[in-house]
Amino acid sequence: MLLLHLHPKAVPEEALVFRRTFGLGGIAVVLFLLLAVSGALLLFGYEPSPERAYGSVREIVDQTPFGAFIRNAHHWAANGLLLVALLHLLRVLFSGAYDPPRRANWIVGLALLLLVMASNFTGYLLPWDQLAYWAVTIATGMLEYVPLVGGSLLRAARGGAEVGSKTLALFFVLHVAILPIALFVLTSFHFWLVRKAGGVILPREAGASRRTMVPTSPHLVAREGPVALVTVATVLVVAALVEAPLLAQANPGMSPNPAKAPWYFMGFQELLLHLHPAFAVLVVPLLLAGLLVALPYLRHGEAPSGAYFQSPAGGRSALSATVLALVAVPAWVLVEESARRTPPWLPFLPQAVRAGLIPVLLICTVHAGVYLLARRLFGASRLEALQAVVTFVVVALVVLTVTGSLFRGQGMALTWPWALAGSR
Ligand code: HEM
């Protein structure tokens, strides 16, 4: 019944086609519910103090019936939710569903993404093992590079100078109370805005007035049900087969080598190896966030077609941007890696200019080039050229994340993933 209240009585028949949304928003909701249930069960055993956190997780895993299974389900559903939210963002992005009348919902969606990331990150620390402790130390440590206010930001994020009992208490309250409540409230608002915009975006050609409407029940519900069941089944099967990581108890005196941030911050940790720190942790993330927030406000003079990539020209532009990023970003990483062993170029310039301003200006030039190439070479519209630029950014970030996560070994030197696995 509750499900039906979330939906209108009837929906356009075209909205039922799976590839319209790939069910991603719905899958995110199911994962959120799974997280709430498994998280509530974990709370029966978990104790949020540095002395007891690790031991209590060990007891859940080793001594509690189904404890390991519930912890695994929570862990994989949490990572799945972040991945699904990112894919949902891409679906919305490439169908152009961020423009009015969905502009406000795009912004709400971005806030939801931040909340999901924050939930993941605060949960990361709770087991208080080496992985948790050092990943949070590295990720919060990046804040120190923010000019002027870095130190204060770092202390605010950790609840003190070091990751310790205050950090654990802060992360625990955020993770089990504040963030879930905020997620619940904002998700409800998100659904309301979907309805207010008249449902999901549909291809224009069919003409809104000629759309055939069908009753939500059974048509839409009969499609959502199986997607929800497959989602739950997938999480449970993965939870039964793959253990969530749990290393030795946190040891603030012994950092693992390499010490890495969680995978969703790895792209920025990788950037730290190439750019001046203030640019890697402040300027580039701000430019990225600015681009995502500004997207629905950029005037391109046309309504989105509702089709993926708008038209074949849009598709070709996005594909070319993908290929370009797949070639250019690894090449940049390799050139930078060999340059680390040679004296710096333009040594008379301050490091912020040499390794910050100049590379960031070059990166912006490449993006302008992608825009112009899409317009001139493929005859893309302004909207399509803009989407090609965002595609380049997304693929570049994925390449940096994969490089940092899989191809960085001891001392963050480039290495093959199998060598990394062997050294663990
Ligand atoms: C917890 C995370 C999220 C949940 C549970 C969620 C849920 C949903 C659902 C159920 C829909 C209806 C259609 C569909 O399934 O695609 C939807 C649509 C939408 N979402 Fe999300 N979403 C989340 C995150 C995001 C993010 C990160 C963005 C982008 C920044 C976003 C932007 C939108 C927009 C603009 C629509 C309308 C799309 C259209 O009309 O075609 N959402 N969301």
DSSP for 46-86 reads ---STTTHHHHHHHHHHHSTTHHHHHHHHHHHHHHHHHHHH
Which of 190, 201, 288 is the best mutation target for the ligand 1 pocket, counting ligand atoms within 8 Å of the beta carbon and taking the most? Answer: 190
Ligand 1 lined by 317 (C-beta under 6 Å): no
Q: What is the pLDDT of residue 209?
A: 62
For ligand 1, whether the C-beta of 194 sits within 6 Å is yes
CA gap 107, 147 in Å, rounded: 27
Residue among 219, 25, 54 nearest 128 (CA): 54
**119-130 burial string, b = 16+ CB within 10 Å, else e?**
bbbbbbbbbbbb
- Cβ pair 82, 24 in contact under 8 A: no
Within a 13 Å sphere around the CA of 135, how many CA atoms are in the beta-carbon half? 23
* Inter-residue contact 96 to 309 (CB < 8 Å): no
Residues 197, 101 contacting (CB under 8 angstroms):
yes
Q: How far apart are CA 209 and CA 128, in angstroms?
A: 57
Return all residues near 53 (Cβ < 8 A) that are at least 6 apart. 46, 47, 126, 127, 128, 168
Residue ranges of the chain with per-residue pLDDT less than 50:
none
Instruction: Report which protein residue has its CA nearest ligand 1's atom 11.
Output: 25
Give residue 190 CA to ligand 1 midpoint distance, Å: 7
Sort residue 260 into left (φ over 0), alpha (ψ -120 to 50) or beta: beta
Instruction: Name the E strands within 103-251.
Output: 213-215
Cβ 118 vs Cβ 174: under 8 Å: yes
Instruction: Tokens for 128, please give them.
Output: 């208080």
Ligand 1 lined by 30 (C-beta under 6 Å): no
How far, CA to CA in Å, does 258 sit from each of 253, 323, 342? 15, 30, 23
**Domain limits, CATH 1.20.810.10, in the chain:** 1-203+216-249
Contact 118, 199 (CB under 8 A): no
Q: How many CB atoms lie within 10 A of CB 371?
A: 18
Nearest to 180 by CA among 253, 258, 118: 118
Helix locations, 304-349, DSSP H = 312-339
Count other Cβ atoms within 10 Å, centred on residue 235: 23
Closest CA to 369 of 417, 328, 418: 328
Distance CA 398, CA 270 (A): 11
The packing angle between helices 284-294 and 103-125, to 10°, is 140
Cα(401)–Cα(366) distance, integer angstroms: 20
CA–CA separation, 41 vs 29, rounded Å?
19
> Alpha-carbon distance 358 to 268, whole Å?
18
The per-residue pLDDT for 242 is 98
| 61 φ/ψ angles, rounded to the nearest 5 degrees | -75, -45
The highest-level CATH class for domain 1-203+216-249 is: mainly alpha
Point out the ligand 1 atom lying closest to the alpha carbon of residue 93: 29
- Do 27 and 84 meet the contact criterion of CB atoms below 8 Å apart? yes
Taking the centre of ligand 1 as the mean of its atom positions, its distance from the CA of residue 113, in whole angstroms, is 10
Output the CA–CA distances (angstroms, integers) from residue 14 to 7, 205, 216, in the order listed: 15, 12, 12
Whole-model pTM? 0.94
Let me know: does 267 contact 397? Beta carbons within 8 Å: yes
Please state, in angstroms and as integers, the Cα–Cα distance from residue 209 to each residue in 205, 213, 304, 406, following that order.
11, 10, 18, 51
**For residue 139, what are its two tokens?**
């990720």
Nearest CA to ligand 1 atom 7: 25
Query: Is the distance from the beta carbon of residue 94 to the nearest atom of ligand 1 less than 6 Å?
Result: no
Pocket test for ligand 1, best of 81, 88, 186 (most atoms within 8 A of CB): 88
Q: Which two tokens stand for residue 209?
A: 């007035």
